[in-house]
Chains A and B, each alone.
Chain A
Amino acid sequence: MSESQYPEGDMAADAVSPAPTSSVVAAPPSRERLQQARRRWLRTILLTGGVMGAALSGFLPLIYARTKRLRPPGALDEKDFLASCIKCGQCVQVCPVQAIKLADLVDGIGVGVPHIDAREQACDFSCDAVQCILACPTGALVYKKPAFLSVRKGAKLAKAPILKAKEKDAEPTLNLSERIGVARLTRPESCLAIQGKGFKGQARGASFKGRMRYMEANRWKPIRVAEHPYDVGECDLCVRECPVKGAISIETVFAPDGSRRKSPVVHEPCVGCGVCEMICPVEQPCIVIEAREVWNT
Chain B
Amino acid sequence: MSSILRKRFFDQIAVMFGREPKKPEAIAPEAQNIHLFKRGNRDLIAEKLHARAHAIHANKWRNRRWAVLIVVNLMFTFSFWFDIQILEGALTASRFIGFHLIDLNSALQVMLAHKHIIVNLVIGTATVFVLWLLLGGRTFCSWVCPYHLLAEGAEKIHLYLVRKKLLTDQNIDRRLRTLSWIVFAALAAGTGYTVFEAISPTGILSRALIYGPGLALLWVLALLVFEVFFSRRAWCRYACPIGLTYGVVGIFSPVRIKYTLDGCFHEGDCRKVCLVPHVLDTVIKGRAVDTEIPIGPDCTRCGLCVDTCPTGSLTFDVKGLSRLL
Known: A83-B110, A86-B110, A90-B88. A43 touches B172 (CB 8 A): yes
Q: List residues of chain A with CB within 8 A of the CB of B145.
A: none
**Would you call A55 and B184 a contact (CB within 8 A)?**
yes
Cross-chain contact B110 with A40 (CB below 8 angstroms): no
Give the residue among B89, B184, B203 with the most A Cβ atoms within 10 A.
B89
Q: A54-B199, A90-B93, A139-B121 are in contact. Are A104 and B214 (CB under 8 A)?
A: yes
Interface residues of A in 43-99 (CB under 8 A from B): 43-44, 47-48, 50-52, 54-55, 57-62, 79-80, 82-90, 92-94
| C-alpha spacing A10/B92, complex, angstroms | 34
Interface residues of B in 186-239 (CB under 8 A from A): 187, 191-199, 203-204, 207, 210-211, 214-216, 218-219, 222, 226, 231-232, 234, 238-239
CB distance from B194 to the nearest CB of A (A): 7
Binding stretch for chain A, among B57-65, B173-181, B295-303: B173-181
Q: Are A104 and B90 in contact (CB under 8 A)?
A: no
> A3-B267, A58-B197 are known contacts. Are A51 and B239 too (CB-CB below 8 A)?
yes
Q: Contact flags (1/0) for A1-14 with B, using CB distance below 8 Å?
A: 11111101111111
A185 vs B152: C-alpha distance in the bound complex, in angstroms? Answer: 55
Instruction: Kindly specify which of A105-113, A119-127, A205-213, A233-241 makes contact with the partner chain.
Output: A105-113
Check if B171 sits within 8 Å of A105, measured CB to CB.
no
Structural contact, B204 and A6, CB atoms closer than 8 A: no
B170 x A43 contact (CB < 8 A): yes
CA separation between A273 and B31, bound complex, in Å?
71
- B284 within 8 Å of A (CB atoms): yes
Which among A61, A90, A106, A112 is the interface contact of B95 at CB below 8 angstroms? A90
Determine the chain B residues whose CB is within 8 A of the CB of A94 once the complex forms. 88
Indicate if the CB atoms of B168 and A16 lie closer than 8 Å: yes
A104 and B215 contacting across the interface, CB-CB below 8 Å = yes
Tally A residues with Cβ within 8 Å of B: 59
B173 and A44 form a contact (CB under 8 A): yes
B285 at interface (Cβ–Cβ under 8 A)?
Answer: yes
Contacts of B215 in A (CB 8 A): 104-106
Whole-angstrom CA separation of A83 from B112 in the bound complex: 9
The answer, yes or no, to whether B277 is at the interface (CB within 8 Å) is yes
Q: A47-B239, A58-B198, A92-B211 are in contact. Are A137 and B120 (CB under 8 A)?
A: yes
Taking a contact as CB atoms under 8 Å apart, the answer to whether B268 and A59 are in contact is no
Q: Counting CB contacts under 8 A, is B271 at the interface?
A: yes
Near A by CB (< 8 A), chain B positions 69-93 give 79-80, 88-93
Nearest-neighbour CB distance to chain A for B205, whole angstroms, equals 11
A13 partner residues in chain B, CB cutoff 8 A: 171
Tell whether, in the assembled complex, residue A89 and residue B193 are in contact, meaning their CB atoms are under 8 Å apart. no
Cα distance, A92 to B212, chains bound together (Å): 12
Interface bin, chain B: 35 or more
Which of B2-10, B100-108, B248-256, B316-324 contacts its partner?
Answer: B100-108
CA distance A40 to B89 in the complex (A): 40
In the complex, what residues of A have CB within 8 A of residue B11's CB? Answer: none
| Contact A137 B172, CB 8 Å, known A88-B94, A89-B211, A112-B204 | no
B121 touches A137 (CB 8 A): yes
Which residues on the A side are within 8 Å of B239 (C-beta)? 47, 51
Cα-based distance from A51 to B241 in the complex (angstroms): 12
B118 interface contact, C-beta 8 A: yes
A40:B173 contact, CB within 8 angstroms: yes
Question: Once the chains are docked, how many angstroms separate the CA of A191 from the CA of B277?
Answer: 69
B219–A105 touching, CB < 8 Å: yes
Residue in contact with A86 in the complex, picked from B23, B102, B222, CB distance below 8 Å: B102
Separation of A80 and B168 alpha carbons in the complex (Å): 46
Q: Give bound CA distance, A169 to B53, whole Å.
A: 78
- Indicate if B20 sits at the interface (CB-CB under 8 A): yes
Q: Shortest Cβ distance from B47 into chain A, in angstroms?
A: 13
Which chain B residues in 280-296 approach chain A with CB under 8 Å? Answer: 284-285
CB neighbours (8 Å) of A61 from chain B are 193
Residue A41, interface by CB 8 Å: yes
**Chain B residues, Cβ within 8 Å of A105:** 214-216, 218-219
Closest Cβ of chain B to A33, distance in Å, is 14
Contact between chains at B118 and A88 (CB < 8 Å): no
Pick from B90, B231, B271: contact of A88, CB below 8 A.
Answer: B90
B289 to chain A, nearest CB (A): 16
Give the Cβ gap from A74 to chain B, nearest Cβ, in Å: 13
Interface-centre pick from B79, B93, B196 (highest chain A CB count, 10 A):
B93
Instruction: Check if B305 is an interface residue, CB within 8 A of chain A.
Output: no
Closest to B278 in A: A10
* Closest CB in chain B relative to A201 CB, distance in Å: 32
**How far is B280's CA from A225's CA once the two chains are assembled, in angstroms?**
62
Partner of B234, one of A47, A79, A83: A47
Interface status of B116 (Cβ within 8 A of chain A): yes
Known interface pairs A9-B20, A14-B169, A48-B180; 13 further A-B residue pairs with C-beta atoms within 8 A, sorted by A's residue number = A5-B268, A8-B23, A13-B171, A44-B173, A48-B176, A50-B226, A54-B222, A58-B193, A83-B192, A104-B214, A112-B90, A137-B121, A138-B121
Closest 3 CB pairs of A and B: A58-B198, A88-B93, A58-B195
Sample (19) of A-B pairs whose CB atoms are under 8 Å apart:
A10-B278, A13-B171, A14-B169, A16-B168, A40-B172, A43-B172, A44-B172, A44-B176, A51-B180, A55-B195, A62-B191, A86-B103, A87-B203, A88-B89, A105-B219, A111-B203, A112-B203, A112-B204, A137-B93
